[in-house]
Amino acid sequence: MAPPDHPKQQFSGEQSLTEPNIYVSLTYDPLDATAQMARVKSPQAGAVVLFAGTTRSHFSPSRPITHLSYTTYPSLALRTLLRLSTSILTSHSLTSIAITHRLGRVDIGEESILIAVSAPHRREAWRGGEEALERVKGEVEVWKEEWFEDGGVWRANRDGGVGVEVRRGSGSGSGGTKGSGGSGKGSGGSGARKGSDARKKELPEVGIRKRGTGEFSEGGLEF
């Protein structure tokens, strides 16, 4: 599945789905950590864990980020968020869980996701929060566009090898793409690259967007 061809704001305010002790939502507005924690607090909960994912200034030392942008198919992403939240609530014996993902432009230092969980004990809360983050990145239909001074590139919404970029509209994934650590080092070595290549079919089609043109270039960026 690929990101929408022409990402734009699709709604105003906050779209959400709820079940008992579960709240999931999407919004283009700045996120409120205090409100998110309040959604999961309970007299039965002895621990509340909040994760806030923020935009950092660099994904590569040589190429500073100006901002990130997120896009999605809202109804599909909300259903996926609700499904995985229901699973995590049960498997970790949580009291409550709340997940909110921001869409659109997210500047450096701003939050793109808030995950709050509560549980009777801290161990369940820590583990439930961590699983929630990993599953959001791995399962929810949200795509991230990293913006630099000279343009942007679509990536799957997670770090590391699964974020390997491929040409938009090309099934081969050729064009000089390398793993994040460069050739022969870290996660960019040949062994890691084979694993990344095997996962390309799971990625959305991505490419390099030229700033101000709305067009995609032919080749892949190297990091």
- Residues belonging to the binding site are 121-122, 137, 144-146
Could you tell me which residues are annotated as the binding site for substrate?
A: 121-122, 137, 144-146
Burial of 11 (0-12, 13-18, 19+ CB in 10 A): exposed
Q: Which amino acid is at 82?
A: L
Beta strands in 4-141 (DSSP E): 14-19, 22-27, 47-54, 58-60, 63-64, 67-72, 96-102, 104-107, 111-119
Provide the 3-class DSSP secondary structure of residue 208: strand
Give the integer Cα–Cα distance in Å for 144 and 184: 26
